[in-house]
Chains A and B, each alone.
Chain A
Amino acid sequence: MLRIIGKRLLLVIPLLFIISMLSFVIIQLPPGDYVETYILNLRQMGGIPFEDAYHLADQLRERYALDKPLLVQYSIWMRHIVTKGDFGNSFTYDRPVTDILRERVPRTMAITLAGVLLSWLIAVPIGIYSAVHQYSFSDYVFTFLGFVGLSFPAFLFAIVLVFIVFQYTGWAITGIFSSAFEDAPWSLAKFWDMLKNMTIPMIVLSTSGAAALIRILRATLLDELKKQYVITARSKGLREMRLLFKYPVRVAINPLISTIGWLLPAAVGGEIVVSQVLNLPTTGPILLTSVLDQDMYLAGGILFILSSLTLVGTLISDILLVAVDPRIRFG
């Protein structure tokens, strides 16, 4: 057990390095750099003479080491992250990227994880019900809803839900808190307000994951229910509910743990979209603007952190799977 965990952990370190390198290279792909955009804006607004602008650009490039080759830039960036936890400076916000990340990444993580958990909470009972009542009316309804859930792009779902809520209550949902609670200290009322605001993002985030999970759980459970041991247990007089939860459900739930591997990356993407539509102050919207503005340290930092966290999440699910399923541990 410990050996497996150790091996997985060791494998993560090189992967993290590859991720950091990928993030950095991708961020550098667009032609030009931030300084160019910055100078262009300055000249349009302030009308700085060309010579001065040129000089300023050179100074800025030197300060941020933008004139060095890519590999040198990367190693400086990486060295600062590893030694000082410093992700560089954001050009647009004129703040250390680390500060922005510290502020926004926990929110992204909380929303994403809550979304994944909710997918399970929705999917497990429905999946079990659908499998036990195969071809019943409600099974067809759930299957159909599952199809729709998979086909609805997250952003559309969010827009339509906001629209419906607005139409019936006249309340336009935006942000994590209503403006009245924005700066208020934590209280029960503020918490309640947050729950109200987070309902739609949570529904949107968990739906497509839940739809996929229901299909998987239903299929595996149906396979299990046909097996001999179920028939044997039934013929020996075990009560149906006890039989169901004691054996086939336990077997069928195990594969769900490994679904974190793709559920989590998908939820990270969903979170970006939902945050963009509902204006949540998480990493999503700033990733989008920073990528478009070529605010490279910010965009690179977010990309690196999101990918690494997903990787770590997958690792945890791997370890959980090993812990839960002895067949993998000894197989």
Chain B
Amino acid sequence: MGKATSNVLSLLGLSSHPRAPVKEPKKDLAFASQGQLVWHKFRKHKVAMGSLVVLTLLYIGAIFADFIAPYEKNYRIPDVQFSAPTRVRVYEPGKGFSRPFVFAVKRQLDMTTFTYETVIDRSQKWHLRFFVNTDPYKLLGFIPVSHRLFGVDTGYISLFGTDNLGIDILSQTLYASRISLSVGLVGVAISFVLGVILGGISGYFGGTVDLIIQRIIEFVITLPQLPLWIALSAAVPNRWTGIETFFAITVILSLVGWTSLARVVRGRLISMREEDYVMAARVAGRRDGAIIRLHLLPGFMSYLVVSITLAIPAMILGETTLSFLGVGILPPEVSWGAMLREANDVTLIFNYTWYLTPCIFVIVAVLAYNFIGDGLRDAADPYSR
């Protein structure tokens, strides 16, 4: 007998093996809330759980970028343009193990290829230190701190290399993840409000309102997004501050994003509004708003969560693409796309491959969101087995 069937049987208080004791946690499931059921099922999706961990790490990296990044956002390490990633070592041949260190690095211009080469100088060591002192800054904007997670006592350390200005790519990527990762969340929040309100009106009331909103949605979906995004982003004035531009770009991205959410809400509402319990609530004198909020919303919340999770990576990709094309986030603000803009040169990335570092972050973040969305989709309906 399959595992799933025996689970069902044990839920009903029966067991496929009459003498086998019914496990306690299984019994709890019978009284669990929907949230607990979803979480229980989601936990079994290993890839999604792994993605959740990865994503949490990425967000921690973004929030505490000040502390984790060895250098400030646009700090240029003097005289180390195009430095290759420095390797942290704990072992030196002939001398055995020691505290973590990096070998000193010298840069030389290769006179035949005219590219900068990083030459390791094995006679000199730069020791890695944790909680090094730096200029004071405010962590999370209000906690005064004057330490960073790691650094070197002399020389410099750049785990992912530096760019043409000597900016540490690891530090910049961490700072960039603040914008890139929050675009998805803020954008989805805006789409969510638009989608739920318009989709809700459309699905609950039906009739002419529904018809008009549906036509608008169909129209918006038919338009090619990217040309529109490009044209709209170009309209964002240059003199706006980083935060204003960020919000403008986010709003532009959500102008298209809300349509799919509205469709989900409408579809669910239409199938649910004919249910007996809705009729009962209406007969009991509940007002429309309360019916939507208290009786209908909980019913399709899980579907909504899935759509939202899957909408976030699309937003992140949108921002990355726009910034890459030069109409999104502009310097001095950094985002992953803005960093990759510089990598649009085959000879450059051929010589300095580490320019592609942010691309790994983009892919990991987007994949993680997609996997989580997939796991949630499987878990969204905990009663199906």
Contacts and interface: CB of A to CB of B under 8 A. Distances in A.
Interface of A: 15, 18-19, 23, 26-27, 29-31, 147-148, 150-156, 159-160, 162-163, 166-167, 172, 261-262, 264-266, 268-270, 272-273, 276-277, 287-288, 291-292, 299, 302-303, 306-307, 310-311, 314
Nearest to B226: A269
Given A147-B371, A153-B317, A159 B224 contact: no
B44 to A, nearest CB: 16
B255 to A, nearest CB: 11
A142 B132 CA distance: 47
Interface stretch (B33-41, B113-121, B188-196, B344-352): B344-352
Contacts of B226: 268-270, 272-273
A268 B224 contact: yes
A245 to B, nearest CB: 29
Given A151-B366, A159-B343, A288 B230 contact: yes
B324 A155 contact: yes
Contacts of B234: 30, 291-292
Nearest to A285: B325
Contacts of A147: 367, 370-371, 374
Interface stretch (B61-69, B159-167, B294-302, B356-364): B356-364
B232 A151 contact: no
Contacts of A307: 222-224, 227-228
A310 B224 contact: yes
Contacts of A26: 228, 231-232, 235
5 contacts: A29-B235, A159-B344, A262-B221, A265-B223, A292-B234
A276 B325 contact: yes
Q: Which of A147, A151, A160, A291 has the most CB of B within 10 A?
A: A151
Contacts of B340: 155-156, 159
Contact of B237 (A31, A148, A288, A311): A31
Contact of B367 (A15, A19, A151, A310): A151
A160 B356 contact: yes
Nearest to A150: B370
A265 B224 contact: yes
Given A147-B367, A159-B349, A266-B224, 9 more contacts: A29-B232, A159-B356, A268-B224, A268-B227, A270-B226, A276-B325, A288-B325, A303-B231, A307-B222
B225 A265 contact: yes
Nearest to B230: A291
A151 B227 CA distance: 20
A199 to B, nearest CB: 16
Given A31-B237, A292-B326, A314-B222, A303 B227 contact: yes
Nearest to B223: A307
Contacts of A276: 325
B362 A153 contact: yes
A45 B362 CA distance: 42
Contacts of B184: none
B327 interface: yes
A273 B220 CA distance: 21
B151 interface: no
Contacts of A291: 230-231, 234, 327
Given A163-B350, A310-B222, A151 B343 contact: no
A152 to B, nearest CB: 6
Contacts of A163: 346, 349-350, 356
Interface string B76-112: 0000000000000000000000000000000000000
Nearest to A313: B222
A311 B230 contact: no
A230 B224 CA distance: 39
B219 interface: yes
Nearest to A293: B234
Contacts of B356: 159-160, 163
A166 B223 contact: no
B363 A310 contact: no
B363 A151 contact: yes
Nearest to A162: B346
B171 to A, nearest CB: 21
Contacts of B321: 153-155, 273
B313 interface: yes
Interface in B181-210: none
Contacts of B350: 163, 166-167
B320 interface: yes
A153 B344 CA distance: 14
